[in-house]
Structure 1
Amino acid sequence: MEHLSEVLKILEGALRHDPSGAREYALLLADKLEDERRARQAEALRRTIARMPGLAVQSTEAAAALPRDDESDTPTVDIEQPLENNRPLALPRFVRQQLDEFVQTVEKRDLWVEHGIDTPARLLLVGLPGTGKTQTAREVARNLGLPIVMTRSDVLVSSFLGQTSKNIRRVFEYASSRPCVLFLDELDAIAKRRDDSQEVGELQRVVIALLQNLDALPESTVVLAATNHPELLDRAIGRRFAFHIDIPLPAAAQRAQIWADRLGSHAPPPEDIDILASVSEGMSGAVIEAAALDARRQGVILGHDVAPLTLILRRLARMLWYEDHQVFESPEAEMIALRRWLPKVFTYRELSEQFDVTTRQVGNAVRSRTEARADSLGAHETQ
């Protein structure tokens, strides 16, 4: 039977006396029928929905009634509608293949059910901070044409006894009542190992609540989760996710793509992009994106149509060095650090232009610092 998932969800909404949920899935079915060029059936379905008295008002009220934390009266989720984006994420080929497979599994669920292969639509994303787990979740939602319901860990986890479990239940009830992708961000905050002796009983009960809600959720409901610390997750949680994808730090090709995409019309020539990809080895996509946008803003301020390579590298260096609290006491100190970092790029001439000094001043500064360092090393050796 075609579109069995939507039909079952509509039936479930009717049986649970949830007209707004049934309406949302009926509209989703109408959209799918229209995409399949079955406009007459889609229009008939929409007319039936429109004739239901008061349903539009109920749906609006339900959409506004987001799950909330009792302690702070703050929504525990944020909702984002899928936005068109012509730039796919810069991901390795094997990660892209795994994502495509997951999306196809969700889209072809009726086919799997027909053959007795009902795989739960569950995906766990693992990776270091800044590798693009949240953006990947957004892309999955966009490819499925569904809004994404993103949990807010700062609100979901409550200091009140039993409130966190209640918040989790409300989030799952909300997600199961409408077509959406539920994204459990920072999963380790609510799914830590129960055999950890340092965890108190309340947190162990939270894990049990999460497991119970995952098991009670219809297998057609799409659930994504992300964690920076897979080693902290309870093993039973991992078994609930049929798909696991590790997102690594970007390789050279992905770094070049991120630089080019984020610099946009201000991007330098391809050979300079290759240099940027090389020097940013080991950095996350988030760091590269922030540096690119920072350089682009600075380029606009300075009136550059194309951001010079040295300007981009200088903004990147400042970001990295400031993270390590290496604040320079003078422009000369920053100039010397740049020279030591990339001497083939930050030549005397480039540094003189960047810092608005003569090449002689650059040379004097570099030599004086080098001599001072040599004197310091010599004094240390004589002691």
Structure 2
Amino acid sequence: MTTAKADLDSDIISLARLALAGRAQDIQMLVQRIARKTRGEKPELSNSLTALLREAPSKDTPLRRMAEIPMPVDSDSRLHLLKIEEAIEIDHTPVLAADVSAALDQLVSERGRLEALDAAGLDPTKTALFVGPPGVGKTLAARWLAKRLGKPLMILDLAAVMSSYLGRTGANLRQVLDYAKQADCVLLLDELDAIAKRRDDRDEVGELKRLVTVLLQQIDDWPASGLLLAATNHPDLLDPAVWRRFEMKVEFPMPERQAIYELVNGLLQPYENKAEHWAKILSVALHGQSFSDVRQSVERARRAAAISGDALDIHLESLILPEQLSKAERINLATMLVDAGLSQRNVQKLTGVARDTVRSHSQPETTARKRRGT
């Protein structure tokens, strides 16, 4: 018996075993592997198997097809361990750094060119790790991806359920991931560092170290039809083996001024006729804050205006907070606002810094341009 025939016989036996066990997702992976192995010697078989894989077995959504599979719950509280978003609504296109946007576009494009990848003997990217400080858009990016791919989003907050896992090895974690594998979804493991800490950390108990091993096995076994995302604010805490398992790493930076401008403009445009003006001001005043903090500040101002009946301008001005800044900080803010294109008159009103002081601290070329326009 040739090696190729022996391999094929072994695959057929494995396929039968999986079919009898009802493991649909694993069957799909094995059929895909057989199609690749037989492409050279049995192209007709390979093409037929590939065609079968592309056929949709049902018009139902992934979650409806899983109605008979119980959703994982905590054995103590009986609460669901997964948060599921099927009909994802996003009020505006996320504002993302160029590198982040390019990475997300690639993940979507790969799933639109499965035939080209298959012809090259490749799978689409199955796993991606989102890294960055809190509030920079990691969860929003996961929701945006799921919406573009037309898949439900499942979110497992590892930090929130950590106490449930201790003492029960990786059984619950394996249960959750096995469920998500069968759902043809986008799964987000939030706060990954809660369980994926370095196994050489002497302060960690053996139970957590075993969870890392379970996680590694699950990542290796993740189906190409799904997408596994993980997010962490502390990449330095991750076990190196976990870090290596993710095929794509996406770093989410703190937003630059242009990104804050786009976010604020998008938030104010439907309600404020001077949205661009305020976006320019707040892109300077709120620089250094996360997307989440900027959004909360703007929405807090809008709520205050709606309740008081005051003009929104009054409450947006309060976000600049000149009374909480030192004299040097107010001068620096005033200078940046002038350099951003605001008139010295408006800057004096907003910051309380005299125009002569602003003029003396502004960039020479900007000051000269202002004088010519006065």
Contact 1:276–1:313 (Cα < 8 Å) also in 2: no
Of 188-197 and 256-265, more deviation after overlay is shown by: 256-265
Q: Which residue does the alignment assign to 2:80?
A: 75
Q: Is 2:99 the partner of 1:94?
A: yes
Gaps of 5+ in 2: 1-15, 28-53, 335-345, 353-374
Partner residue of 1:314 out of 318, 321, 328? 318
Contact 1:157–1:164 (Cα < 8 Å) also in 2: no
Q: 1:144-159 residue pairs with structure 2 within 5 A?
A: 144-158=149-163
Mapped to 1, the partners of 2:194 and 2:126 lie a distance apart of 22
Partner residue of 1:125 out of 130, 133, 138? 130
Q: Secondary structure at the match of 1:73?
A: coil
Q: Which residue does the alignment assign to 1:188?
A: 193
Mapped to 2, the partners of 1:204 and 1:21 lie a distance apart of 27
Q: Is 2:47 the partner of 1:60?
A: no
Contact 1:127–1:227 (Cα < 8 Å) also in 2: yes
Q: Secondary structure at the match of 1:79?
A: strand
Mapped to 2, the partners of 1:128 and 1:12 lie a distance apart of 45
CA-CA distance at 1:186 after TM superposition: 0.5
Contact 1:126–1:246 (Cα < 8 Å) also in 2: yes
Mapped to 2, the partners of 1:299 and 1:183 lie a distance apart of 36
Q: Is 2:287 the partner of 1:300?
A: no
Q: Secondary structure at the match of 1:195?
A: coil
**1:153/1:350 CA distance change after superposition, 3 Å:** same
CA-CA distance at 1:140 after TM superposition: 0.6
Q: Is 2:242 the partner of 1:237?
A: yes
- Name the Cα RMSD after superposition: 3.4
Report the AA paired with residue 293 of structure 1.
Answer: E
Q: Which residue does the alignment assign to 2:203?
A: 198
Of 108-117 and 261-270, more deviation after overlay is shown by: 261-270
Report the AA paired with residue 309 of structure 2.
Answer: G
Contact 1:193–1:234 (Cα < 8 Å) also in 2: yes
Q: Which residue does the alignment assign to 2:171?
A: 166
Contact 2:159–2:191 (Cα < 8 Å) also in 1: no
Q: 1:124-143 residue pairs with structure 2 within 5 A?
A: 124-143=129-148
Q: Secondary structure at the match of 1:256?
A: helix
Once the two structures are superposed, residues 274-304 of structure 1 have per-residue CA deviations (whole angstroms, 9 ceiling, x without a partner) of 1110111111000000001101111112335
Partner residue of 2:324 out of 326, 337, 341? 337
Q: Secondary structure at the match of 1:68?
A: coil
Contact 1:76–1:156 (Cα < 8 Å) also in 2: yes
Mapped to 2, the partners of 1:191 and 1:151 lie a distance apart of 14
Q: Which residue does the alignment assign to 1:284?
A: 290
Mapped to 1, the partners of 2:144 and 2:197 lie a distance apart of 27
Once the two structures are superposed, residues 131-175 of structure 1 have per-residue CA deviations (whole angstroms, 9 ceiling, x without a partner) of 010001000101100001100224431356442511210111101
Once the two structures are superposed, residues 73-120 of structure 1 have per-residue CA deviations (whole angstroms, 9 ceiling, x without a partner) of 221111001425462111122221111012212332342122112244
Contact 1:190–1:203 (Cα < 8 Å) also in 2: yes
> What TM-score, normalized by structure 2, do the two folds share?
0.69
Mapped to 2, the partners of 1:233 and 1:316 lie a distance apart of 38
Mapped to 2, the partners of 1:93 and 1:336 lie a distance apart of 35
State percent identity of aligned pairs: 33
Q: Give the length in aligned residue pairs.
A: 295
Q: Secondary structure at the match of 1:69?
A: coil
**1:279/1:336 CA distance change after superposition, 3 Å:** closer
Report the AA paired with residue 220 of structure 2.
Answer: D
Q: Secondary structure at the match of 2:200?
A: coil
Q: Secondary structure at the match of 1:223?
A: strand
Q: Secondary structure at the match of 2:163?
A: coil
Q: Secondary structure at the match of 1:226?
A: strand
Report the AA paired with residue 304 of structure 2.
Answer: Q
